[in-house]
Amino acid sequence: MAVRAKAKAATRADWRMPAAAGLLAIAAAVLAGQARAEDQKIIVSHGISTFGNLKYPAGFKHLDYVNPDAPKGGEISEWAPGTFDTLNIYSIKGVPAALSTSFYESILSGTADEIGAAYCLMCETLEYPEDRSWVIFNLRKDVKFSDGSPLTAEDVAFSHNLFETKGIPEFRAVFNGKVEKVEVLDPYRIKFTFAPGIPTRDLPTTVGSTPIFSKADYEKNNRDLEASSLQPFLGTAPYVLQSLKPGQQIIIARNPDYWGANHPLQIGQNNFDRIRVEYFGDDNAALEGFKSGVYTFRNENSSRLWATAYDFPKVKQGFVVKPKLPSGAIASGQGFLFNLRREKFQDPRVREAIGLMFNFEWSNQTLFYGIYERINSIWDNTQMAAKGPASPEEAAILQPLIDEGLLPASILTDDAVMGSVSTPDRALDRGNLRKASALLDEAGWEVGSDGMRRNAKGELLTVEFLEDSPSFERVITPYVENLRALGVDAKLTLVDPAQMSQRSDPPNFDFDMIVGSAVNSYEPGGEMKQSYASVTAGNSTRNRAGLADPAVDRLVDIVEAAKTREELDVATRALDRVLRHTRFWVPQWYKRVHTVAYYDQYAYPDPLPPYALGELSFWWFDADKAAKLKATGALN
């Protein structure tokens, strides 16, 4: 369920011209609706895959990438920035704590070594016709909530209806209306029938991925999905809340009576007795906490700290290790997001000019120690990234939008928009400064006697970067200086996390530019509307840029309706090309490895799966190593 999460993907496919005809047919189907076939073959399975076959057969013993003999016990602890005031991540109210989703499971579950597959966790089997116009889940009879009460189909129906009526607005705006009917067939059998005329490729997985709450507990305790709360809903997951200090610390503990401990999807997972998260005001304070052993595992996201800060005695003595672990994950999509609701950002020439003044090459060499690569595509590091001019298959999708005046003809012949290239030798690239100056001149922002740019109304061109992480100050400050050299009245405003949430979340959207993500996934579908569709421009935490473009709306529909992997890849490349053409962001950077540091008391499967680090899922505690650390005084 795409509530506040991301997924990621894949391998290069071989495209051929027939895909163009298929995609044109999809586009027509999106507009005209799809007729349901009758008398179809009914598929009964232990899982479902978007395209192709499932990796794991019925009756598999455990996932390939786990250690089925991993010991249970010990604690792993990490840090989080800022503060929190709620455990309800499904409400727009409050700042949710880390681990807030750890109490809930869904009927289906994915894996970290396979794209597009979902397997029965709470169900024995699922049934669906070839057109996926409905799905039946045959639930397991041994699933228990953490208080020991049984889960039934009534809880599933209740949870689905709850998200349709009280879920966050961006989710309801996109997904409501897609389920025509929910039927409890018996206490352990539930059927979802989907509305006619809509793409159904992802819908069985979507409804099977909704978090399940206890109906009885929710009603008995007058719970509210829309309210902020420090008490989690009653779920079925392997961990329960042990304790919390509001805004400072949260600890979850493994439930010794967890119903699914011997489930094939859970063997070798959920190995720690406790998971603890400590909150710190900034990266530097958090690093000092790590050095002193306040917490024990650190996923290092600062290139500066990774390159310079890990020379303290515990590293030199081998008590703390800092490996680089391989990652096959899709690039993060991280970038500076424009607030397109602002009148000054309506002109794409203004956005292009501002983007030209970010010098990634200098930043990477001077600030990042060469650890990063530039993000150019929303789907970087996958076969879905648009490259060069549009392919014939992409053109078949884009041409109707050109004919309707929704896109310029140049979208077919121009190379896909890339991040600007700058000199690494100095922060201000003079060539890009001249290009940006020309763009702003054309857009009517002229330089005055004071060197600052104003429009015909005499309004100053201002850009405020809103940020709650002090570690970004060294990155944004040179960018601000470059913009000021361009005549833009730019500044950085540092706020605390609560202010950041208040200003950047709906309904306020009170910012010019923030650091955020261009949301992606390995198998993009209807959830892309939460991030890019006009219907979510005013209410979505995922569409913070406020993107509302009719061409993008149409392309998201085509992506959602793709029926094969080949069609999806081509359609997503077309969407990627157009999204980049809008220049709603200034792309930043990513790395192809996990840079982690931890006290040497943990172990992990080798090799790791391609799509997850999994330190909280399938790593485990080494009691012998931990005892040695304590004996030396490295840890208390």
pLDDT at 497: 85
Q: Please tell me the distance from the alpha carbon of residue 384 to that of residue 416, in angstroms, as a whole number.
A: 12
Confidence of residue 526 (pLDDT cuts 50, 70, 90): confident
User: Which residues have C-beta within 8 Å of that of residue 570, sequence separation ≥ 6?
Assistant: 15, 19, 23, 391, 393, 394, 397
DSSP output for 267-284: TT----SEEEEEEESSHH
> Under CATH, domain 239-328+592-632 is a member of which superfamily?
Periplasmic binding protein-like II (3.40.190.10)
Bridge partners, residue 586, by sequence: 336
What DSSP state is assigned to residue 87?
S
Taking a C-beta distance cutoff of 8 angstroms, is the pair 275, 269 a contact? no
416 pLDDT higher than 90: yes
CA distance 510 to 507: 9
Domain made up of 334-590: CATH architecture = Roll (3.10)
Q: Which residues contact 606 (CB under 8 A, 6 or more apart)?
A: none
For residue 91, which of 241, 277, 207, 233 has the smallest C-alpha distance? 233
**What DSSP string describes 434-453?**
HHHHHHHHHTT-EE-TTS-E
Is a pLDDT exceeding 60 seen at residue 37?
no
What average pLDDT does the segment 307-333 reach? 94
Using the structure block, give the residue that is written with the tokens 């008590």: 319
For residue 12, the model assigns a pLDDT of 26
CB-based contact 509:537 (threshold 8 Å): no
Per the rule left: phi > 0, alpha: psi between -120 and 50, beta: everything else, 33 is left
pLDDT of residue 169: 77
Residue 38 pLDDT grade (very low, low, confident, very high; cuts 50, 70, 90): low
The separation between CA 606 and the C-alpha centre of its own chain, rounded to angstroms, equals 25
User: How many CB atoms lie under 10 A from the CB of residue 32?
Assistant: 9
Which has the closest alpha carbon to 93: 601, 508, 396? Answer: 508
- Tokens, residue 334: 């991280």
Q: Can you tell me the distance from the alpha carbon of 352 to that of 358, in angstroms, rounded to the nearest whole number? A: 11
Give 215's contacts (C-beta < 8 A, 6+ positions apart).
154, 155, 158, 159
Q: Are strands 75-81 and 274-280 parallel, antiparallel or unpaired?
A: parallel
Task: Tell how many helices (H) and how many strands (E) occur in the chain.
Answer: 19, 27
With a CB cutoff of 8 Å and minimum separation 6, the contacts of 88 are 94, 96, 100, 225, 227, 228, 229, 232, 233
Helices (H), 373-426: 392-403, 410-413
**pLDDT for position 548:** 97
Give per-residue pLDDT as tens, 460-495: 999 999 999 888 999 999 999 999 999 999 999 999
pLDDT per position as a tens digit, 230-249 = 999 999 999 999 999 999 99
What is the pLDDT at residue 177? Answer: 87
- Per-residue pLDDT, 171: 77
pLDDT at 566: 96
Per-residue pLDDT tens for 344-397?
999 999 999 999 999 999 999 999 999 999 999 999 989 999 999 999 999 999
The SS3 call for residue 173 is: helix
Of the listed ranges 35-44, 216-225, 251-260, the one predicted with least confidence: 35-44
The pLDDT of residue 186: 97
* β-pairing verdict for 462-467 and 513-517: parallel
215-229, 474-488, 524-538: lowest mean pLDDT where? Answer: 524-538
Residue 608 has pLDDT above 80, yes or no: yes
pLDDT of residue 3: 36
For residue 525, is pLDDT > 60?
yes
- For the cut 90, the answer to whether the pLDDT of residue 305 exceeds it is yes
Confidence of residue 4 (pLDDT cuts 50, 70, 90): very low
**Residue where the block lists tokens 């041409």:** 399
Q: How far is CA 230 from the centre of its chain?
A: 24
Which residues is 42 bridged to in the sheet? 129
Distance CA 594, CA 586 (A): 24
| Pick from 301, 325, 297, 372: nearest CA to 593 | 325
Map out the domains of the chain as residue ranges.
Answer: 239-328+592-632, 334-590
Residue 175 pLDDT grade (very low, low, confident, very high; cuts 50, 70, 90): confident
- Confidence band for 40, pLDDT divided at 50, 70 and 90: confident
Distance, CA of 137 to CA of 124 (rounded, Å) = 8
Cα-flanking dihedrals φ and ψ of residue 136, to 5°? -115, 130
Q: What is the mean pLDDT of residues 424-445?
A: 97
What's the whole-number average pLDDT of the chain? 92
Two structure tokens written together for 511: 């910012």
Q: Could you give the 3-state DSSP secondary structure of residue 553?
A: helix
| Coil, helix or strand at residue 160 | helix
Instruction: Round to whole Å and give the CA distance between 541 and 623.
Output: 42
Structure tokens at 516: 């955020």
CA distance 516 to 123: 36
Whether pLDDT at 443 is above 70: yes
- At residue 239, the pLDDT reads 98
Amino acid identity of residue 561, one-letter, is A
Question: For position 539, what pLDDT does the model report?
Answer: 87
Task: Please tell me the distance from the alpha carbon of residue 405 to that of residue 399, in angstroms, as a whole number.
Answer: 10
6 vs 540, which has greater pLDDT?
A: 540
Could you tell me which residues are beta bridge partners of residue 141?
Answer: none
Give the number of other Cβ atoms within 10 Å of residue 226's Cβ. 14
Residue 564: name the closest of 572, 575, 556 by CA.
572
pLDDT tens for residues 80-98?
998 999 999 999 888 899 9
CA separation for the pair 539, 87 (Å, rounded): 21
Pick 279 or 175 by higher pLDDT.
279
- Report the range of poorest mean pLDDT among 54-68, 419-433, 493-507: 493-507
Count of CB atoms situated within 10 Å of the CB of 573: 26
Interacting residues of 604 by C-beta distance below 8 A, sequence separation 6+: 325, 614, 615, 618, 619, 620
Q: Say if residue 430's pLDDT is above 80.
A: yes
Distance CA 91, CA 506 (A): 12
pLDDT value at position 23?
42
Tens of pLDDT, residues 12-26: 232 223 333 444 444
**DSSP 8-state class, residue 86:** B
pLDDT of residue 527: 87
Torsions phi, psi of 297, nearest 5? Answer: -135, 130
Confidence of residue 170 (pLDDT cuts 50, 70, 90): confident
Chain centroid to CA 315: 32
The yes-or-no verdict on residue 33 having pLDDT over 90 is no
Share of the chain above pLDDT 70, in %: 94
307, containing H or E segment: helix 303-308
DSSP-derived secondary structure for 95-117: -BPTTTTTT---SEE--SS-SSE
